[in-house]
Amino acid sequence: MRTLAALLFCLVATTAAAHDMHAGMAMPKGPDLGASAAIDGKGRLWVVDAADGHVRLRHSDDFGRTLSAPTPVNAQAEPIYAEGENRPKIAFGSKGELYVSWSQPRAKPWTGFVRFARSTDGGEHFSTPVTVHHDLAEITHRFDAMAVDGKGRIVMAWIDKRDLEAATAKGKPYLGAAIYTSVSSDGGATFSAERKLADETCECCRIALASTPQGEIAAFYRSIFGDNIRDHAYAVLHADGRPLDPQRATFDDWHIAGCPHHGPGLAIGPDGVRHAVWYEAKDKPTIHYGQLEPGKPPVHLQTIAGAGAGASHADIAVNGKQVWVVWNQVDARGFALMLRESHDGGASFGDARAIANAKGAAASPQLLLWQGRAFVAWNTAAGFRLVPTEAL
């Protein structure tokens, strides 16, 4: 059963012998359920996913109960990564523009290009897709992340193996992959030359981005410290060219010689508190919550869920003192979408409860905020759902 296979993977991911730090990790192949969603200022829900070689855009004016007919973002079909960790993304410009990014597989295994297209007419038409990075070698450029900063600049980040390739050619050791970034200051018409955020990061865990109170974009990602200690790092992706200063942000000391395919989540409140969730399995598979103090261990560190119950792929959102954490929980009966809430800014959390269930496969959940309420974008084998965390 697919659900049992997913559960087994959560357990297998804890053993280093199953992985190859250079080639990446072969994931169990299921349906391409990777999707992203966003709610605009008028309350319209926008959803992007992939089907038949196209990133497709749909919208809903009734919070996901019905969805419009799909609009293709890329007119010409191309391969598209559409997994939970590596899925198409959507963001809004300051004047209602729609920005969409995705990773495109290339001919060689584990390779990819980061792609981007924009619409300035409300999603009716999209520009011809462009490749964001200037480096066009057929290597890994994938697991793209996208956000728009307070000045309307589009900030991109992705996992990139150009430095691994260079080190390998010289016979030098190199663990994992690098993370590179690029910025567009003209609404996606052009992107700056990429610059490196960090060497030796995890090669297939998604990068979490969030806005700071200063209007900049921060990144939280799984990095590699020492001999394959796969903890997390935090950095502000200064779009104005200032130096990037990544710092270690979690200290679980999980040693694993390969990628667990479990990226973290990040939400930053107006008070500057960096709320984070992440997965590790040093002793047993666990989802943690903590408030990041880069360079130091997180504060208010606590266990949100144990993956002994099949818990994985958490996300987080914050609004004032309200903090929401969601994750997938799988067993032989299927998937449950789980929720825990804090009403005191993350100092404590209430009990876990299931807010939705799916009998088939389910992609990673994504928290969305609208007028102080939290909703979960959840794509399952039965279709896309927007699940409220409370009754509407």
> pLDDT over 90 for what percent of the chain?
88
Q: What is the mean pLDDT of residues 340-349?
A: 98
What pLDDT is stored for residue 306 in this prediction?
85
Which fold would CATH assign to domain 2-388? Neuraminidase (2.120.10)
More confident site: 157 or 8: 157
Cα-Cα-Cα-Cα torsion 205, 229, 133, 90, nearest 10 degrees, comes to 30
What pLDDT is stored for residue 28 in this prediction?
40
Q: What is the mean pLDDT of residues 280-284?
A: 92
Q: Please check the confidence at residue 24 and state whether its pLDDT lies above 50.
A: no
- How far, in Å, CA of 256 to CA of 243, rounded? 30
Q: Please check the confidence at residue 336 and state whether its pLDDT lies above 80.
A: yes
Q: What is the mean pLDDT of residues 11-28?
A: 33
Amino acid residing at 215? G
Q: Please check the confidence at residue 318 and state whether its pLDDT lies above 80.
A: yes
| Collapsed DSSP state (helix, strand, coil) of residue 226 | coil
Query: Where along the chain do its domains lie?
Result: 2-388
Q: What is the mean pLDDT of residues 328-351?
A: 95
Sign of CA dihedral 325, 328, 331, 333: positive
What pLDDT is stored for residue 332 in this prediction?
81
What pTM was computed for the model? 0.92
What pLDDT is stored for residue 30 in this prediction?
47
Q: What is the mean pLDDT of residues 15-38?
A: 53
What pLDDT is stored for residue 307 in this prediction?
60
Q: Please check the confidence at residue 22 and state whether its pLDDT lies above 70.
A: no
What pLDDT is stored for residue 115 in this prediction?
98
Query: Residue 114 is encoded by which pair of tokens?
Result: 């980061």
Residue-by-residue DSSP string for 281-323: -SSS-EEEEEEEETTEEEEEEEEEEEGGG-EEEEEEEEETTEE
Question: Diameter of the chain by CA atoms?
Answer: 59
- Taking a C-beta distance cutoff of 8 angstroms, is the pair 278, 232 a contact? yes
Please tell me the least confidently modeled range out of 3-17, 256-270, 279-293: 3-17
Q: Please check the confidence at residue 13 and state whether its pLDDT lies above 70.
A: no
Q: Please check the confidence at residue 14 and state whether its pLDDT lies above 80.
A: no
Amino acid residing at 256? I
What pLDDT is stored for residue 37 in this prediction?
98
CA separation, residue 175 to residues 165, 178, 258, 328 (Å): 11, 9, 9, 29
pLDDT digits (tens, 9 = 90+) for 283-292: 999 999 999 9
Residue-by-residue DSSP string for 113-176: EEEEEEESSTTS--PPPEES-S---SS-EEEEEEEE-TTS-EEEEEEE-HHHHHHHHTT----S
Q: Cβ-count burial of 158 within 10 angstroms (0-12 exposed, 13-18 middle, 19+ buried)?
A: buried
- How far, in Å, CA of 220 to CA of 302, rounded? 18
Q: Cβ-count burial of 370 within 10 angstroms (0-12 exposed, 13-18 middle, 19+ buried)?
A: middle
What pLDDT is stored for residue 392 in this prediction?
56
Please tell me the least confidently modeled range out of 160-169, 176-185, 325-334: 325-334
pLDDT digits (tens, 9 = 90+) for 300-313: 999 999 866 689 99
> pLDDT over 70 for what percent of the chain?
91
Mean pLDDT across the chain: 91
pLDDT digits (tens, 9 = 90+) for 45-84: 999 999 999 999 999 999 999 999 999 999 999 999 998 8
What pLDDT is stored for residue 31 in this prediction?
57
Confidence of residue 331 (pLDDT cuts 50, 70, 90): confident
Q: Give the pairing type, strands 217-222 and 98-105.
A: unpaired
Confidence of residue 251 (pLDDT cuts 50, 70, 90): very high
